[in-house]
A and B are shown apart, each in its own frame.
Chain A
Amino acid sequence: AQSVTQLDSQVPVFEEAPVELRCNYSSSVSVYLFWYVQYPNQGLQLLLKYLSGSTLVKGINGFEAEFNKSQTSFHLRKPSVHISDTAEYFCAVTDTGGFKTIFGAGTRLFVKA
């Protein structure tokens, strides 16, 4: 079984500051890792994903994430945030065999002017 822990429920940050949203997972099998973003009253949109290969993956809107197998982490980062990045961010893991996706509790990023 897999589990996903997003360590911060809310992250307030000023515009143009860097941000890191933390995600740790546990799994007894190989997994794929995802970050999704949800804007108010909308569905989820894929930000980026790690399947294999380079541990640093780049996504849309200037976000990137680094897969760290030893620490079982997949933290999301952006060097300079914008007001429009205010949203809920979900980390998710999917086992490579059964494709059942487990979501973290979400982190609300609030960008202040």
Chain B
Amino acid sequence: GAVVSQHPSRVICKSGTSVKIECRSLDFQATTMFWYRQFPKKSLMLMATSNEGSKATYEQGVEKDKFLINHASLTLSTLTVTSAHPEDSSFYICSAEGAHSNTGELFFGEGSRLTVL
């Protein structure tokens, strides 16, 4: 089956530093990946859609200069939280669509919990 892996699963950083989270499709090529943010006991909030080889499309209210997304290959997308602040602490999840998907089914990574001190 389609497997998506996120790394790191947990990260703690100091305020003002930058953190990179990787999302990899292990056994399929993902032309489109999605990044979500999930607050405690809340649903997933779509942050941005990344397409391989092009700029990410950010949802309204998401700061593109703060949340840098790169999708340089068909198997890797990265989310960099720049100059992190405590309010950026959250659970970040990525998902991917298969290159030949025609159903919209998403394959999710395990999530990355970011804690900013």
**For the complex, is A44 an interface residue (Cβ under 8 Å from B)?**
yes
**Cβ of A44: which chain B residues have Cβ within 8 Å of it?**
44, 93, 95, 106, 108
A108 near B6 with CB under 8 A, answer no
Q: A32-B103, A32-B104, A99-B104 are in contact. Are A43 and B110 (CB under 8 A)?
A: yes
A94 near B93 with CB under 8 A, answer no
The distance from the CB of B11 to the nearest CB of chain A, in whole angstroms, is 13
B111 near A51 with CB under 8 A, answer no
Could you tell me the distance between the alpha carbons of A57 and B101 in the complex, rounded to whole angstroms? 20
Could you tell me the distance between the alpha carbons of A10 and B5 in the complex, rounded to whole angstroms? 29
Could you tell me the distance between the alpha carbons of A105 and B104 in the complex, rounded to whole angstroms? 19
Q: Is the interface of A mostly helix, strand, loop or mixed?
A: strand
A90 near B43 with CB under 8 A, answer yes
A41 near B113 with CB under 8 A, answer yes
Cβ 8 A contact of B103, one of A36, A42, A45, A49? A49
Could you tell me the distance between the alpha carbons of A92 and B34 in the complex, rounded to whole angstroms? 15
Could you tell me the distance between the alpha carbons of A108 and B40 in the complex, rounded to whole angstroms? 12
Interface footprint category on A? 20 to 34
**Cβ of B107: which chain A residues have Cβ within 8 Å of it?**
46
Q: A43-B108, A43-B109, A99-B97 are in contact. Are A106 and B43 (CB under 8 A)?
A: yes
**Cβ of A49: which chain B residues have Cβ within 8 Å of it?**
103, 105
**Cβ of B109: which chain A residues have Cβ within 8 Å of it?**
43
Most buried by A among B32, B104, B107, B109: B104
B110 near A42 with CB under 8 A, answer yes
Q: A44-B93, A44-B95 are in contact. Are A94 and B43 (CB under 8 A)?
A: no
Chain B residues packing against A (C-beta within 8 Å) = 4, 6, 32, 34, 41-44, 91, 93, 95, 97, 101, 103-111, 113
Chain A residues packing against B (C-beta within 8 Å) = 32, 34, 36, 41-46, 49, 51, 90, 92, 94-96, 99, 101, 103-106, 108
In the assembled complex, 9 residue pairs joining A and B whose CB atoms fall closer than 8 Å, in A order, are: A32-B103, A34-B105, A41-B91, A42-B110, A45-B108, A46-B105, A49-B105, A90-B43, A103-B43
